[in-house]
Structure 1
Amino acid sequence: MSTSRIALRCPTLDDVDAITDACQDPEVQRRVPVPVPYRREHAVAYVTTFCEDGWITGERCTWALEVDGAFAGVIGLDDIADGSANLGYWMAPQHRGHGYLTEAVAAVLNFAFDTLELERVEWRAFAGNRGSARVAQRSGFRFEGVRRCASRGRNGREDDWVGSILSTDDRAQQAWAVLDA
């Protein structure tokens, strides 16, 4: 799969060093449930077990984002079942702020609704993760609210923001009170 600026492909062992480097970033460690400290063997297991097994079982689809031949981040659909899935993503620090994720989300939503024939895709992030929320907002997700103490963060339970998009929804940017206030 690709957009005008990025390729979306299965993560491979060639990505291990870049994944390891990206997962040293404090923002990735704060917002993504990765082991800390993050070691190379974690990236190997991620690629060879988590990613590969997800495609084999159909429970999740994970793509590496490639920009100009370089690994830039990850996007995936998890918990695929009963016509729905959860969307998650993260970017390596040097690739943030260029709109790559918004392009990737559009491509993955096309895959979710057209290929997998899903009816609903949900997005969740720790409350306050404005960068992730802005991508979801620009991609047409509707903000549904706050799930109190719904996730386990590094320092205990944290609130989640949650949004969704249906296959029948338009993809126009939505107003989100938590971001637009």
Structure 2
Amino acid sequence: MEPATVTTERLFMRPFAPEDADAVHAACQDPDIQRWTVVPSPYTRADAELFTGTLSPAGWQDDTTYNFAVLRRDGGQLVGALGVMRRVLPGTYEVGFWTAKEHRGTGYATEALIEVARWAFTALAADRVEWRTEVGNTRSRSVALRAGFRMEGEQRSALFNKGIRRDTWNAALLPGDLRLPGTHPYRPAPDVSGAL
């Protein structure tokens, strides 16, 4: 896919580029980012260069992962990262994100997540955008809920992070949740609460 940009009133999201390595390296020194995401720990300058200069461009080129640098529109400061990954089931994608420590609590992550989900529903013809995090990552869960994701439960041993299998919280967003049409019909399960 051709690299794309997404904007909001306060944010500009574009594909990562090699010149973002310094800002990504600095942000990923935060112990919380290393704890709750799958970034390497310790996070080296070489890790940032690999992510911004090789992995992110390759994901766009081979249509598997679309990583966005989330930047403030008033100056271009890196706020965080937001990735959209293709899943096996057609029309299904997963989102993952981190926010630089100094930008937490500003609403930037929620704002970015809503607009990138909207982009996935329109540009990628997604019918389902999934979110998951390790159980206990309450900040990420709060962002997903504020963005309209609906919790769907927990999965045991569903995440492999830094050599350890971990349980996850799971949620999803559908096009109709953002008042967008889906690409395929959706039939919700009937209410079976009175069934035997």
TM-score (norm 1): 0.90
Q: Indicate the structure (1 or 2) with the bigger Cα radius of gyration.
A: 2
Percent same amino acid among aligned pairs? 39
Is 1:149 aligned with 2:149? Answer: no
Sort the Cα spacing of 1:60 and 1:154 in 2 relative to 1 into closer, same or farther, 3 A: closer
Shift of 1:3: 0.5
Per-residue Cα deviation, 1:119-155 (whole angstroms, up to 9, x for no partner): 0000000001111001110111110001012112347
Q: Contact 1:30 / 1:154 at 8 angstroms: preserved in 2?
A: no
C-alpha distance in structure 1 between counterparts of 2:41 and 2:59, whole Å:
23
Amino acid at match of 1:79: R
Q: Secondary structure at the match of 2:177?
A: coil
Is 1:136 aligned with 2:141? Answer: no
Match of 1:96 among 64, 80, 104: 104
Per-residue Cα deviation, 1:87-126 (whole angstroms, up to 9, x for no partner): 1000111111100011101110111111111100000000
C-alpha distance in structure 1 between counterparts of 2:29 and 2:125, whole Å:
36
Q: Contact 1:60 / 1:80 at 8 angstroms: preserved in 2?
A: no
Q: Secondary structure at the match of 1:169?
A: helix
Amino acid at match of 2:15: C
Q: Contact 2:134 / 2:159 at 8 angstroms: preserved in 1?
A: yes
Q: Which segment is superposed worse, 143-152 or 74-83?
A: 74-83
Match of 1:174 in 2: none
Matches within 5 A, 1:14-163: 14-67=19-72, 68-80=75-87, 82-154=90-162, 156-163=164-171
Q: Contact 1:65 / 1:71 at 8 angstroms: preserved in 2?
A: yes
C-alpha distance in structure 1 between counterparts of 2:106 and 2:87, whole Å:
29
C-alpha distance in structure 1 between counterparts of 2:158 and 2:26, whole Å:
29
Shift of 1:170: 4.3
Q: Contact 2:85 / 2:93 at 8 angstroms: preserved in 1?
A: yes
C-alpha distance in structure 2 between counterparts of 1:14 and 1:153, whole Å:
27
C-alpha distance in structure 2 between counterparts of 1:8 and 1:26, whole Å:
24
C-alpha distance in structure 2 between counterparts of 1:59 and 1:155, whole Å:
24
Match of 1:4 in 2: 9
C-alpha distance in structure 1 between counterparts of 2:154 and 2:94, whole Å:
16
Superposed CA RMSD: 1.4
Amino acid at match of 1:78: M
Structure 1 alignment gaps of length 5 or more = 172-181
Q: Secondary structure at the match of 1:117?
A: coil
Q: Secondary structure at the match of 1:33?
A: coil
Amino acid at match of 2:97: Y
